[in-house]
Amino acid sequence: MRNLELKIFHNNKILVLATLILSIFFVVAILSYSGIIASNWYQQVGGSYDSPNIKNIFGTDIFGRSVLAKLIKGTETAISIGFVVSSIAIIIGLSLGLISGYFGGIIDEFIVWLYTTIASIPNIILLIAFTFILEKGIMSVYIALAMTRWVEICRLIRAEVIKQKSKDYIQASIAIGASHFRRIFYHILPNVIHIAIIQFSLVFQVSIKSEVILSYLGLGEQNQPSWGLMINDAKVEIIRGVWWQLVFATIAMFLIVLSFNIVSDALRDFLDPKLRNK
């Protein structure tokens, strides 16, 4: 297994770099969450709109707060959104996909109906509707995003389960009298889990992007720094020549999304049996 893990990085410097960047983001988010860094992000550390300088390398915002600290706190928001949303989406998508694909019949029809209905509504409208119904804030963003992101996972898992179900090893397990539970979790799940892992990394970065958009539109988190809010601030700042909030928030988002894409691609190449054998 260790050899396999290392093989994925073999001769792929970009992947190493992307993983390194992601690790930094994760470490920063964890440190920020535990209050070790950026816990005093709201404190005034300089004048209003100080440009990047030695004391505040990323400059300050309108209230003289450090943009770096806000960026770090924003990383925490972004990573937490990505993590919570992809976890919920994977749990829902994987369970419904397994049940639907394995049992078929009316259960399958119901689940397919459910996800096609959700998929037919434009995502952004659905997100806005969710955030309007629920009280605005980070919790509603978690729920709104998770409720829209499980659909793709469910669809892929279901298709794969249907394929696996008819294979010989499942027939053999039926013949030796394995229970439904055993068939699903011991035999089918290990053969479809790679889809879930790849989807996890994809949903992670899509959620970060969606959170930024929602916050930018004023529908997301309003009481804690978020990259979307920093970009939204720039709407009135850029004309005054204040570029640092926009630039640093965009760079942060760009780096994390790009790194996730590279890692997802590598994971797919590595985990998908079809691609691995090529």
Partner 1 sequence: MLKKLSFLLLIAFLSIITTIYLHKNKHKKPATLNLVSLHKIKTLDPILCIDTHSFIHINSVYETLFKYDPFQKNEIKPCLSKNLPIKENNSYVIKLKKGVKFQNDECFSEGKGRELKSHDIKFSILRNADPNLNGKHFWLLDGKIKGLNRWRKNQRKKNQTDYNEEVEGLKIIDDYTIKISFEGDNRQFYQIFASPFSVIIPKEAQDYYKKDFGNSPVGTGPYEIKKFDPQSNKIVYSKNSNYRDERFPTEIPENLKLKFKNSLGKTLPLVDNIIVHIVTETSTRLLKFKNREVDAINITNDNINFSLIKDGKLISDLEKKGIYLYNKNEVNTSYIGFNFNNKIFNNIKLRRAISLAFDRKKYNKLFYNDNSTTAQSMIPPSIEGYEKKYINPYCAYDVERAKQLLEEAGYPQGKGLPKITLDIRSGTIYRQKAIFFKECMREIGIEIKIRTNPFSELLNRIFKGNFMLFDLNWQLDFPDAENILQLFYSKHITPNGFNFTRFKNEKFDELYEKINLISDQERRIILYEEMNRILGDLVPAIFLNHKNHLVLCQPWISYIWTPFNFDLIQYIDIDDTIKQKFQISK
Q: Is 236 in the site for partner 1 (CB under 8 A)?
A: yes
Per the listing, tokens 């995502």 go with: 123
**Type of residue at 206:** V
Closest CA relative to residue 248, chosen from 16, 48, 60: 60
CA 274, CA 268: separation in Å to the nearest integer?
10
Among 40, 235, 251, 254, binds partner 1 (CB under 8 A): 235
CB of 49 to partner 1, least distance (A): 9
Residue 122 or 218 having the CB closest to partner 1:
218
Binding flags for partner 1, 147-186, as an x/- string (CB under 8 A): ----------------------------------------
Residues 25-84 that bind partner 1 (CB under 8 A): 42, 48, 62-63
Instruction: Tell me which stretch binds partner 1 (CB under 8 A): 3-11, 103-111, 183-191, 235-243.
Output: 235-243
Size of the site for partner 1 (CB under 8 A): 17
Q: With b meaning 16 or more CB within 10 Å and e meaning fewer, what string describes 87-119?
A: ebbbebbbebbbbbbbeeeeebeebeeebeeee
Cα(200)–Cα(217) distance, rounded to whole angstroms? 25
Residue positions counted in the chain: 278
Residues that bind partner 1 (CB under 8 A): 42, 48, 62-63, 136, 218, 222-223, 229, 232-233, 235-236, 238-241
